[in-house]
Amino acid sequence: MIVTMKKDTPQEEVLKLKNELEKLNLQTRDITGDNYIVFGIVGDTTILDKNFILSNPYVENVTRVQAPYKKANRLFHPENTIVEVEGIKIGGNNPIVIIGGPCSIESEKQLMEIAKEVKNAGAVMLRGGAYKPRTSPYAFQGMGIAGLLLMEKAKKEYGLPSVSEMMAVDKIDEFIEHCDIIQIGARNMQNFDLLKAVGKTNKPVLLKRGLSNTIEEWLMSAEYIMAGGNENVILCERGIRTFEKYTRNTLDLSVIPIIKKKSHLPIIIDPSHATGKWDLVESMALAAIAAGADGLLIEVHNKPEEAMSDGPQSLKPENFANLIKKGRKIAEVLGRKI
């Protein structure tokens, strides 16, 4: 961190601030200038709140040199993190993981049919929402625990580990028992109690990027989970809010190389929520593979027109299968498999 003091700050005020910082086990180094007093802070500045220094009335400006996240930072952990779920490895140069399934679990028949289809198409995991974050309180809210039990049944039948969204801390035991990857949805990316709760477990967590969050905020949320002791974090980009109305969200594919540079965590792409339109899903999924994604999370429904949520963005099983076929060819160019 580089601190610039206001012009004509009395020397004793500079010393006072430096002493405060030294009490936090940090060292300061002067950078001599003609007009301003500038010094660098050396040591573990991740523990330091920039605003603590900025609130000093003699401080003109504070610039971070080192990112505020530590455990999620590639600088301190150069090798890729591989998250293992029931023998499936996510991240590094492992095969690109395809997760398919409905937005919501609606019935046993619906889930079993879709599970069979996504399995035949080449998916290795099943997604399905049991607790749904809906904009309207009158919309279908999900089947709850009954839905998670159906996911378990589908896993037994088709060997597909499950991914499902947890919205409340009090459901943690349910998810630990009945779910393989806990999804933290976009709307809850900064629900810090939820992050702390999953941080205390060793369950893999799929952390979606918030609707309007920066990459740094997203990595800070990963840091919350990791700071609790759980390093099994998979990042998932699902589009962000912009002024654009043609698509539901704007898919920020540049996060793939950025995350790979800044972090060692695996990154997967959800082209379904990112676009909101089924006919845009394939091209964005293929682009994500080309950009180096470690996996895809795609909504698939056997009857999208009857889906209880997100029908317009759900792929029919045959389109999902075609997407995977094309994806395999792109993956090959990059020396990866699906």
Q: What does the binding site for ligand PEP look like in residue numbers (CB under 6 A)? A: 103, 129, 133, 165, 185-187, 208, 238, 273
Q: How far is the CB of 249 from Mn ion (least distance, A)?
A: 12
How does 30-68 read in b/e, with b if 16+ C-beta sit within 10 Å?
eeeeeeebbbebebebeebeeeebeebebbeebeeebbb
Which residue, chain included where needed, has tokens 């994806």?
Answer: 327
Residues 310-329 interacting with Mn ion (rule: CB under 5 A): 310
Q: Which 3 state secondary structure label does DSSP give 304?
A: helix
- Contact of residue 119 among ligand PEP, Mn ion, none (CB under 5-8 Å per partner type): none
Rounded CA-CA distance 274/152 in Å is 27
Per CB under 5 A, does 103 bind Mn ion? yes
The DSSP code sequence of 231-277 is: --EEEEE--B--S--SSSSB--TTHHHHHHHHB-S-EEE-HHHHHS-
Q: Between 185 and 295, name the residue whose CB sits nearer to ligand PEP.
A: 185
Q: DSSP strand E in the chain: where?
A: 2-5, 27-32, 37-42, 59-63, 83-85, 88-90, 97-101, 125-127, 162-165, 181-184, 205-208, 233-237, 267-269, 295-299
Q: Between 48 and 195, name the residue whose CB sits nearer to ligand PEP.
A: 195
Q: Between 50 and 187, name the residue whose CB sits nearer to ligand PEP.
A: 187
Q: Between 92 and 312, name the residue whose CB sits nearer to ligand PEP.
A: 312
> Using the 8-state DSSP alphabet, how is residue 80 labeled?
P
Q: How far is the CB of 312 from ligand PEP (least distance, A)?
A: 13
Q: Which 3 state secondary structure label does DSSP give 221?
A: helix
Q: How far is the CB of 185 from ligand PEP (least distance, A)?
A: 3
Q: How far is the CB of 310 from ligand PEP (least distance, A)?
A: 6
Rounded CA-CA distance 34/197 in Å is 51
Q: Which one of 14-22, 219-227, 260-268, 306-314 is the stretch in contact with Mn ion (CB under 5 A)?
A: 306-314
Q: Which 3 state secondary structure label does DSSP give 34?
A: coil
- Contact of residue 180 among ligand PEP, Mn ion, none (CB under 5-8 Å per partner type): none
Radius of gyration, alpha carbons of the chain? 23
- Contact of residue 208 among ligand PEP, Mn ion, none (CB under 5-8 Å per partner type): ligand PEP
Judging by DSSP bridges, how do beta strands 162-165 and 233-237 pair with one another? unpaired
Q: How far is the CB of 30 from ligand PEP (least distance, A)?
A: 47
Q: Between 37 and 315, name the residue whose CB sits nearer to ligand PEP.
A: 315
Q: Between 121 and 181, name the residue whose CB sits nearer to ligand PEP.
A: 181
- Contact of residue 102 among ligand PEP, Mn ion, none (CB under 5-8 Å per partner type): none
Q: How far is the CB of 148 from ligand PEP (least distance, A)?
A: 14
Q: How far is the CB of 309 from Mn ion (least distance, A)?
A: 6
CA-nearest of 301, 298, 233, 310 to 270 is 298
Q: Between 103 and 255, name the residue whose CB sits nearer to ligand PEP.
A: 103
Contacts to Mn ion by CB under 5 A = 103, 310
